[in-house]
Structure 1
């Protein structure tokens, strides 16, 4: 009965997966733009066909589509190392991650059995993160906490970094642990953790990444990685987080995603504890033992998704069970030049709320969304939280 239920769950066809990959890898297309394009045109392939013209109308003379050959080569390289791409809406896609703002349309997953869905599909997940240059006491507590939480059935998620991340992964090996990568799924960073990662995969652990295979992580890629760590988790536990550390960035994502934030207090004389201590002052749950974590997290486990109304539920019209994309794009397919110019004139380098832009220009919502897509694909639009937009003057005509 269980097998039959899983077999009826939606899956992309090979053709669809290729089109999704080409779309998310094309120029100026990110997770949010992917969703807007998909919803407007009804399928990834239809959106791909429209991209060059949309970009031209937005003010860009030439547009770089991600080629079919490159997409096929990426898929082949993934399969060669035992990885695969999971689409948002498929059963193995992390359920909590689906409910963050602009979730990745495709995730590369690497595990001993790439078809195994239980690990990445679980909702009983906790992130443990902290200082790379952690103290011996910090590493010891991370090891103890991760081991005890694993014994209670939690899947531990972290970033495979040195220090606290590594200690947490090591302690959770036996029950399965997940690492989020800032680079490609084949790019273990730091390299000194290659043996740890190999052990994770051998012990039914997994790694996830939204970046292209063989992508070398840059500084700006780690915040994207951090939002995956918090997004996959019911809560984030910080151990030794300095005042301006990446761990605090993860905590901020957790706050935006309505996840629990828990912190282990440290000595006020240790700069590695300043960030965690301040989080406790600001309302984060203080953690001194596994019982503290269980008391806070147990009520969350049974909560239905989404966790609260503020978390954005993706509105993509996902493929039906026969995996056929809809061929009924939402009108309009074009906007008149008067409306387009009105929107461009209203935008400036000063961010403006989208609703205010809508009222000021007087265009319809669908027309505004289409014009914004044109400008964004041309590389001239910047989006700001929570729902603001500004124009980037690139000099391109």
Structure 2
């Protein structure tokens, strides 16, 4: 038996002459929480539909626990599904909704009752078995949908933007709960979303899709700190993306000329193949410095003019102009507001060389 729960092997899906997913390969080991993340139209839902069996690949193979699923119908793939709309039967109780899939599989009544209790306990809904969907909150309804999906004990659970209908506070609470449930079950989750915060908060690994292809895959922290393209840098979090006009190797890494500004920065990155076209600096990697700090060695120091301060509560979002038509976004804790000059005055910023990422595209 394969050591992987899911394998996509050079999978392509086209509608007519239009490719929606292109030559996609992905390997998911047991118990991993993988988010497929990307903007609308990037191919993420099509990928999920091919794993579920609702769409057939135009080329390539999809394997679950080592067995090809291309000719296996959706109901025979032993996969659980949770959708954006809860799709609960309003005339059925919670227990009847959770047991519906088991009933279709003709699971013996005594075993079915035990599995319903077990599934409701796993989503923290013990005591809700006799209620109807209309008597539940949105978050509780979503947990019923989750319990219904896990009651048949599937190999893999596929989730298609299941939290998007919830309000912000409930969505944030359900992120934590969903990850805790997944960890407790030890089940493989494939989670489709366009919300990068959701993916960052829950995933063991993120697969970022763009125009039908995998733009980058890896641990959330690695993707955030080391994006491999300007698209990923922009899509995951916020970035200062600055064109590189020229570069040269130095003892500390790479020295970069910023556009036509005449300013230079040092990055600890070294170009491997293609020449860097952009550099990326996360706003929180920049910090405001005082006169004493500017004299210390190492890193990059820039002087600009403070143009804007936006108060975000716990943080301040600054815009600092370091050259004509070249401004940096800087995010600092609100507690450091005392370090700031008045708007329109000179402001010094520092960024470490390891926080300057070079991007070839």
TM-score bracket relative to the smaller structure: under 0.3
Question: TM-score, normalized by length of structure 1?
Answer: 0.24
Q: Higher helix share goes to which structure? A: 1
Question: TM-score, normalized by length of structure 2?
Answer: 0.25
Q: Which has the higher contact order (CA 8 A, sep 6+)?
A: 1
Q: Higher strand share goes to which structure? A: 2
- Which protein has the larger Cα radius of gyration, Structure 1 or Structure 2? 2
